[in-house]
């Protein structure tokens, strides 16, 4: 059985600047893989390349063994990649329900769990209560839930989450963390970028630390949590 997601020797550029260099990364099916690193390490660039928003200059990206690189974002979404972008990127003048209706794709694979609109609303009851509300009038936490719900409505096989806890109150961070745990329990494969290290270490099965676009360390969350020097050096945690 191939990995859910596999990147091999991936290079991604912004113009002439190489932001991701020779990246090797795998996400096992049903696991949470945390992609960590300081600001500017190349985490968002990596997720953007997987989702087809940025081209790769070299390397392979496979989803359950099928190549993704060179395909556009819409084709990659249909193939089963769901991206929750950094900063949420919701549409302020659309309602919650409109976001979900536009995003919805019937699953094209043997899904462990099917997310129709009722299914995503069951995960985030706050969204059901706000179906008709304009997304721009919701709180940051509600917008983050909507961004996750919108990605789930595409019925992804692999969910990419870029800093889902950024700028949220602790109570909302806990709700988002519970939702991610529930998705993992439902068998979804998840690549999680998160600056909130306790949260990332709690959710992750395995960690990959990026530094200047290259893998600086990879291993188990417990090993990272118990190595203050490693955390200080690569993550700026003291």
Q: How far is the CB of 88 from Mg ion (least distance, A)?
A: 13
Instruction: Name the phi and psi angles at 159, rounded to 5.
Output: -105, 125
Spatial distance between the Cα atoms of 13 and 57, rounded to a whole number of angstroms: 7
Distances (CA, A) of 103 to 120, 170, 226: 12, 28, 41
For residues 45 and 189, which CB has a smaller minimum distance to ligand ADP in the complex?
45
Among 42, 59, 80, 85, binds ligand ADP (CB under 6 A): 42
Residue 80 · residue 63 · CB < 8 Å: yes
Identify the helix (H) or strand (E) that includes residue 215. strand 214-219
List the single partner that 39 binds among ligand ADP, Mg ion, none, CB under 5 to 8 Å by kind: ligand ADP
List the single partner that 42 binds among Mg ion, ligand ADP, none, CB under 5 to 8 Å by kind: ligand ADP
Show contacts with Mg ion in window 51-110 (CB under 5 A): 86
User: Rule CB under 6 A: is residue 154 a binding residue for ligand ADP?
Assistant: no
For residues 79 and 180, which CB has a smaller minimum distance to Mg ion in the complex?
180
Q: How far is the CB of 43 from Mg ion (least distance, A)?
A: 5
Q: How far is the CB of 44 from Mg ion (least distance, A)?
A: 3
For residues 44 and 143, which CB has a smaller minimum distance to Mg ion in the complex?
44
User: Rule CB under 6 A: is residue 197 a binding residue for ligand ADP?
Assistant: no
List the single partner that 37 binds among ligand ADP, Mg ion, none, CB under 5 to 8 Å by kind: ligand ADP
Spatial distance between the Cα atoms of 125 and 119, rounded to a whole number of angstroms: 10
User: Rule CB under 5 A: is residue 44 a binding residue for Mg ion?
Assistant: yes
Spatial distance between the Cα atoms of 196 and 200, rounded to a whole number of angstroms: 6
Tokens of 39: 């600001």
Beta-ladder partners of 36: 209
Classified as helix, coil or strand, 5 is strand
> Which spans of this chain sit near ligand ADP (rule: CB under 6 A)?
14, 17, 19, 37, 39-45
């Amino acid at each position: 059985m191939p990995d859910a997601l596999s990147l091999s020797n991936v290079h991604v550029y912004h113009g002439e600047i190489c932001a991701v260099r020779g990246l090797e990364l795998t996400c096992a099916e049903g696991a949470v893989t945390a992609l960590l690193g300081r600001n500017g390490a190349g985490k968002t660039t990596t997720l953007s390349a997987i989702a087809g928003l940025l081209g790769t200059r070299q390397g392979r990206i496979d989803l359950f063994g099928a190549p993704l690189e060179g395909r556009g974002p819409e084709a990659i979404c249909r193939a089963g990649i769901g991206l929750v972008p950094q900063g949420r990127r919701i549409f302020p003048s659309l309602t919650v329900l409109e976001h979900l209706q536009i995003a919805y794709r019937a699953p094209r694979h043997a899904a462990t769990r099917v997310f129709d609109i009722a299914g995503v609303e069951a995960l985030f009851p706050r969204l059901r209560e706000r179906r008709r509300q304009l997304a721009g009038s919701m709180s940051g936490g509600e917008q983050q839930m909507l961004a996750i719900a919108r990605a789930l409505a595409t019925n992804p096989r692999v969910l990419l989450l870029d800093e889902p806890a950024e700028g949220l109150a602790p109570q909302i961070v806990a709700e988002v963390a519970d939702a991610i745990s529930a998705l993992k329990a439902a068998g979804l494969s998840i690549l999680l970028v998160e600056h909130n290290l306790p949260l990332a270490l709690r959710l992750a099965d395995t960690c990959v630390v990026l530094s200047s676009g290259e893998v600086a360390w990879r291993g188990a969350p417990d090993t990272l949590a118990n190595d203050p020097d490693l955390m200080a050096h690569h993550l700026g945690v003291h």
